[in-house]
Structure 1
Amino acid sequence: MGFEKHAVGRVLIRTKIRRALWNCVSFFLFRPFVTKFFRVWRVALLKIFGAKLAWDAEVYSSVKIWAPWKLQMGHRACLGPNVICYNQDWVILEDDVVVSQYAYLCTASHEVDKLNTANDSLITAPIRIRNKAWIGTKAFIGLGVCIGTAAVVGATASVYKNVDDYHVVGGNPAKTLKIRNLK
Structure 2
Amino acid sequence: MISEKDKMIAGKMYKASDMELVKERVSAHSKAQEFNRVETDQERKKIIKELFGSAGENITVEATFRLDYGYNIHVGEDFYANFNCVFLDVCPITIGKNAMLGPGVNLVTGEHPLKATERNSGYEFGRPITIGDNCWIGTNATIIGGVTLGDNVVVAAGSVVTKSFSDNVIIGGVPAKIIKVIDNDC
**Under TM normalisation by the shorter chain, which class is it?**
0.7 to 0.9
Task: Return closer, same or farther for 1:58/1:161 CA change in 2, 3 Å cut-off.
Answer: same
- 1:29-51 residue CA offsets vs partner (Å, 9 max, x unmatched): 211124xxx33322322332353
The size of the alignment, in residue pairs, is: 175
Q: Distance in 2 between matches of 1:139 and 1:50?
A: 21
Q: Distance in 2 between matches of 1:149 and 1:155?
A: 18
Aligned pair 1:55/2:57, yes or no?
yes
| 2:9 match | none
Which structure 1 segments of 5+ residues have no match?
none
The structure, 1 or 2, with the larger RCO (C-alpha pairs under 8 Å, 6+ apart) is 2
Residue 25 of structure 1 aligns with an amino acid whose one-letter code is K
Q: Secondary structure at the match of 2:46?
A: helix
Q: Distance in 1 between matches of 2:176 and 2:51?
A: 33
| 2:22 match | 16
| 1:99 match | 101
- Extract structure 1 runs of 4+ deviating beyond 4 A: none
1:166 to 155, 168, 174: 168
* TM-score normalised by L of structure 1: 0.86
Shift of 1:177: 0.6
Instruction: Please tell me whether the aligned partners of residues 114 and 121 of structure 1 are also in contact (alpha carbons under 8 angstroms).
Output: no
Compare the two structures and name the one with the higher strand fraction: 2
Instruction: Please tell me whether the aligned partners of residues 31 and 51 of structure 2 are also in contact (alpha carbons under 8 angstroms).
Output: no
Q: Secondary structure at the match of 1:69?
A: coil
Compare the two structures and name the one with the higher helix fraction: 1
Aligned pair 1:31/2:33, yes or no?
no
| 2:138 match | 136
* TM-score normalised by L of structure 2: 0.85
Q: Distance in 2 between matches of 1:93 and 1:141?
A: 12
Provide the identity percentage: 20
Which structure 2 segments of 5+ residues have no match?
5-14
